[in-house]
Structure 1
């Protein structure tokens, strides 16, 4: 894939076709997040990107219909002579329908020189992107089951803020927010979580999602908001931990503890007993008590504990940079740089004074994705 020229502005898009469709929604009778709406969200992002001068969008392909919906929309948009969208290219990559697709797409987007990647998914999707590309800025959009890390926000507004940053109208200091993360180590393996790491008695990964509250023994969180849905809601029932705070929280669950009620998934309220809750300080490695079971990262079981290795967890502030949409839009208003084209550049952007056409013939090899 060609690397961006000094004046070319590239934005990536990763839309997880599987997000918002797991067992937690099915067992709770919650609605799934439809493919058509994901394609519509991408289109609502493309509009602001095109209006503010983003040249190219690199998008992860899929087999569920998101890519096909975008190809149809591109043809219609081009024929209607509407305000231009960026040139959209689907990444030339194999489709495995596993999280490896997200990993490969994120790395290809970063290697191409993208200013940031727009991610549609839940906590798990954003964790995978952050693991693959720790320093690539993310614009987050909720389309999952547990949506604590990504913003629940209109895609048009996210697209506008992303375009302002990508084209250099506002700086990284104005547009981006730092995040905490949890680093889980077990033997020679190291994984991260952006919101929570949950230790369960379940021996096997299985369906991955944690939806049996009685299996939970320990919970570690980077932040815990009172209105959260997901496992971090258990910690939030004990103490609010700010997203931008210095510390996290470690919660131990078990019989005889303080009873709390927490919404751990859509439609699922869990009765939990909290034995102990202590602050999790940054940089301090904490041993995980259980030697058998499994560890869920941001709601999905990823690590099996077979008793052969001690698992450790620590909190740090090396999480991925994310687009702070309100701050970005406020900065643009202050600077007076939220107009389409021809305005002064702030940090060497490629925002241009001329419109550009959209070529609807995009990566012919990937049209049927």
Structure 2
């Protein structure tokens, strides 16, 4: 018995709504637009033989708007096929726990692909539980260094080609680096967190509003990659020593305190905000070994958001590896599809 080609969809209700909307001029992704993006994703997925989509319920209205669109599409008898959409019956809290539980359930259900609508933080949460299930990344967050800013319809077409096996994994997928932080001594011994883009040792003692927004707070920064046209903390590395996602190494940067000397660098650390930081050192961060994090107080931030308040006696270390998620290279998939005329082969005969 053949199993239906199934895609999971994670649309983070909270992405694009953090405090940086108030402190900078970042764009806003309203609930209606996220629901519309999911609808456009369904159109792309359904056109290329994805039969089933699993997604989550939420309290903010994305699921309600999606359900309304599904009912309208069915009532109109639209000729364009959409996959059957199933809402997972899981408790929801409108916190990151929903993403963790949802992704874990999707993996258990055997999804071929997970489409993620969110920012760096959302993709980090998905990556913690997706294993080797590939991710189709779509940006709806604030400081988006990891996911792609792309039209959802086009992403859906590419995602379906991957989920159905029409484009082989060695062409379609890219393995990503990740940073791993673990506590090896102290009250939080055994705790482990990952980041897909950056880990920052912040001088702020409390998590607070979570976002890293003040240059003076940045003490140490580790990066998996640093694009010269990036936004957020990784743009600091990109302004000084760009590192490609495919490069074998990352970056390790340290920064001066106010009044100390160093190398001044201008970088866009948030949308609409270009600040100066004073860098002390910038070195390659190689894969395969653990480096102690020399921080006795402050907070640890992962992909731009403070998560851990350092406690007395805690000792953390950090490593870079290639165990990050697999992601779909949309352009490469569609170029391969065109070279093999896959869209013609997948189209129903009555539409040729």
Name the TM-score, length of structure 2 as normaliser.
0.94
Conservation of the 8 A alpha-carbon contact between 1:52 and 1:340: no
CA-to-aligned-CA distance 1:200-250 (integer Å, 9 cap, x gap): 011121221111221110000000001111110111121000011000000
Task: Give how far 1:326 is off.
Answer: 0.7
Q: Which runs of 4+ in 1 moved over 3 A?
A: 339-342, 352-355
Q: Secondary structure at the match of 1:256?
A: coil
Question: Would you say 1:61 and 2:48 are equivalent positions?
Answer: no
Say which of 311, 318, 327 aligns to 1:313. 318
Say which of 337, 341, 344 aligns to 1:336. 341
Conservation of the 8 A alpha-carbon contact between 1:341 and 1:354: no
Conservation of the 8 A alpha-carbon contact between 2:182 and 2:193: yes
Say which of 196, 213, 220 aligns to 2:215. 213
CA RMSD of aligned residues (A): 1.5
Conservation of the 8 A alpha-carbon contact between 1:287 and 1:312: yes
Conservation of the 8 A alpha-carbon contact between 1:183 and 1:190: yes
**Structure 2 alignment gaps of length 5 or more:** 184-188
Q: Secondary structure at the match of 1:69?
A: helix
**Structure 1 alignment gaps of length 5 or more:** 343-351, 356-369
Task: Give how far 1:354 is off.
Answer: 9.3
Name the TM-score, length of structure 1 as normaliser.
0.90
Q: Secondary structure at the match of 1:339?
A: helix
Higher mean displacement: 244-253 or 170-179: 170-179
Q: Secondary structure at the match of 1:46?
A: helix
Give 1:1-369 correspondences, 5 Å limit: 6-82=2-78, 83-186=80-183, 187-254=189-256, 255-339=260-344, 341=346
Conservation of the 8 A alpha-carbon contact between 1:249 and 1:277: yes
- Work out the CA distance in 1 between the residues paired with 2:263 and 2:248: 26
Conservation of the 8 A alpha-carbon contact between 2:27 and 2:142: no
Task: Give how far 1:340 is off.
Answer: 6.6
- Work out the CA distance in 2 between the residues paired with 1:122 and 1:339: 34
Question: Given the superposition, is the C-alpha separation of residues 26 and 257 from structure 1 closer, same or farther in structure 2, using an over 3 Å criterion?
Answer: same
Structure with larger RCO (C-alpha < 8 A, sep 6+) = 1
Task: Give how far 1:338 is off.
Answer: 1.8
Aligned residues: 342
